[in-house]
Amino acid sequence: MDSSIHWYSRFIDDPPGSSMPDLTKLAEQLVSRLSDSSRTIAVAESCSAGALANSLAQPERAGDVLFGGFVTYMVAAKISALGIPPTLIEEYSAVSRPVARAMAEGTLEHAPVDFALALTGVTGFVEDNRGNPRGRIFVAAATKCGRRLDCHCEFGPLPPAVLLDAALRTAISLGLELFKPA
């Protein structure tokens, strides 16, 4: 990863509330903005196991912008598909800000796209094997032109469906954030 690139970070400890647009509307907004600016996107996702790509595939014009992505549920997939150094995962765990960032960077390196979203975390019923609790999620968004933004979420032990929805909304919202003027 290029150490000269500056990442901007956020922290969230409450899941998106009812005032936030629903997942469908967020996906429509992101796809529309990508399409209007003739940009493409790919995703790297772990805890969502393909749900992020599926969400972005639903809106009109998705076929013009969604390259696809990498479902890297296993650590071995993160290493082989995205080129994440095993030492990074050993040091920080697969559920961490450095790994989410590396997933976004790896997506940009391995897919011919302008924009990448990466998502890793614990959305199931139990903590992971490294002690990361339910509801801990990391999202990273990156563009080829150098804009970077990530988010650390601590949503708590909510039901898996609620955690997945919160993770997806947060990821797509972070993507929309990159379209704001710097």
The model's pLDDT over 72-101, given as tens digits with 9 standing for 90+, comes to 999 999 999 999 999 999 999 999 999 999
Q: How far apart are CA 43 and CA 80, in angstroms?
A: 16
Beta carbons within 8 Å of 99's beta carbon, 6+ residues apart = 78, 84, 88, 89, 92, 93, 120, 138
**Tens-place pLDDT, residues 142-180:** 999 999 999 999 999 999 999 999 999 999 999 999 877
Beta bridge partners of 44: 70, 118
Residue 179 has a pLDDT of 76
Residue 1 has pLDDT above 60, yes or no: no
Question: At residue 48, what are phi and psi to the nearest 5 degrees?
Answer: -100, -10
The tokens describing 21, both together, are: 């647009």
Residue 19 has a pLDDT of 59
Give the chain's domain count: 1
Give the CATH number of the domain where residue 37 resides: 3.90.950.20
* Mean pLDDT over the full length of the chain: 91
Residue 21 has pLDDT above 80, yes or no: no
Is 2 within the bounds of a domain?
Answer: no
DSSP 112: -
Residue 62 has a pLDDT of 98
Is 143 within the bounds of a domain?
Answer: yes
Residue 12 has a pLDDT of 74
Residue 7 has a pLDDT of 76
Pairing relationship of beta strands 66-71 and 115-121 according to DSSP bridges: unpaired
Range of the domain at 41: 8-177
The tokens describing 121, both together, are: 């975390």
Is 3 within the bounds of a domain?
Answer: no
